Amino acid sequence: MKNKKFITLGFASVGVAVTLLFSSTLFAKTNEDNTKKEASRLQSLAKFTKVISIVEKYDVDEITIEELIDKALDGMMKNLDAHSNYLTQKDYKKLKVQTSGEFGGLGITVGIKDGALTVIAPLEGTPADKAGLKAGDIILKINKESTLNMTIDEAVAIMRGKVGTPIDLTIVRENEPKPLNIHIVRGVITIQSVYAKQIGKDLLYIRVTSFDQKVAIDVAKEIKKKKATTKGIILDLRNNPGGLLDQAVGLVDIFVDKGTIVSQKGRHKSDDIVYSASASKTLTKVPMVVLVNGGSASASEIVSGALQDHKRAVLVGQNTFGKGSVQVVLPITKTEAIKLTIARYYLPSGRTIQAVGVKPDVEVFPGEVKTHKNNFSLKEADLKKHLQKELKKVDGKKEDKEDKKEDKDIITPKMLSKDIQLKEAVDIIKALVIIKG
């Protein structure tokens, strides 16, 4: 027994020795790696300082160290991704104005797509919308200045300006043989984000143009108003460039009672967040159709993708823009900051939006509903002895009055005929209502 005990203790001692040796080796390797990283870091900083010093001393034009640092920071941030950038004192001030008050502008959201400055969406009712700009338009020139290698922020800075001043955009549009010149007069950008209309007796149409601070509340109000008579909802997110994440989450929560709405994952665990639905905030479970297109971006993609993953709605239209990244503004001095991409969004199923977008369940291209009048078909009214009395009820004054009545809160069959995507959505929602019973 003594020998056995000795052997056991001896084995344990060897195990401890091996563990200590392994730990010591691992610590030494980790320490060596850290030393190498630190040395590499110092070499890189020394190289950067050397280049700055050489340029400051020998460049053909006299340039200060402050200007060189600003240019270096600007170039570094631009090369990270399309949405990160360095904000100088002037840029930072403009950003604060944009997020806190009214400003003179065109009313478009732009992005870099395939290396070109592209219109993500014109905001409804703004000068850009009235001038005819469309999602997907590529901006070649702004007031004769080429947009080649121009950043988003540089383009926005040029397009924003004093209310009432003109601007000319040269654009390339799909299916147009040559570039178009669009003349726009800057206006005050004030946006109503939520519109609600009735289709027939029991369908509610809700249009969300952007995700500002009151979207979830305003949509909830419209649903509560018509809850008693609503059998189906069409949520229109076409040309919606996005906005606040919490409003996207709040909007999905109105229709989904449990599960993940969206998650974000970054480089560090502290950046990982999961947003979940709550049954207490759910207002309705009626059938839904969501309209999307290439101008639906960011928060719009979160909403449409989450509703699709939860099998809560049928998506109709075209593939969305594909912006699935999270940006934060981090001050570096009292007057300067950087805008940095810190995470990516992921839908409930785990799929990413970034550079992929959300694919609709039913793809429908924009346009009018094509109709063909058949003058050769024979109807009851063409028969000599059709029932006149019944016909008068249909063709009489009562229906004429209804045809002449135009309500801004009602979408008529005539309006539907001009929007084939919306018409398709109405047909699908009617079928879903019938199936639900």
CB atoms within 10 A of CB 417: 14
Q: Which residues contact 127 (CB under 8 A, 6 or more apart)?
A: 105, 106, 107, 184, 185, 186, 187
Place of tokens 């941030």: 77
298 is catalytic: yes
Q: Which of 296, 298, 304, 325 is catalytic?
A: 298
* Cβ atoms < 10 Å from Cβ of 101: 7
Q: Is 16 helix (H, G, I), strand (E, B) or coil?
A: helix
- From residue 157, alpha-carbon distances to 142, 256, 263 in Å are 11, 39, 32
Catalytic residue chosen out of the listed positions 309, 325, 339, 430: 309
Out of 113, 134, 323, 339, the active site residue is: 323
CA proximity to 87, closest of 79, 287, 120, 78: 78
Q: How far apart are the C-alpha atoms of 436 and 195, rounded to whole Å? A: 26
Q: Which two tokens stand for residue 105?
A: 């502008």
H/E element holding 302?
A: helix 299-309
Beta strands in 58-202 (DSSP E): 85-87, 104-105, 108-113, 116-122, 138-142, 145-146, 166-172, 180-185, 187-188, 194-199
Closest CA to 86 of 139, 152, 28, 20: 152
- Where is 299: in which H helix or E strand? helix 299-309
- Which residues are designated catalytic? 298, 309, 323
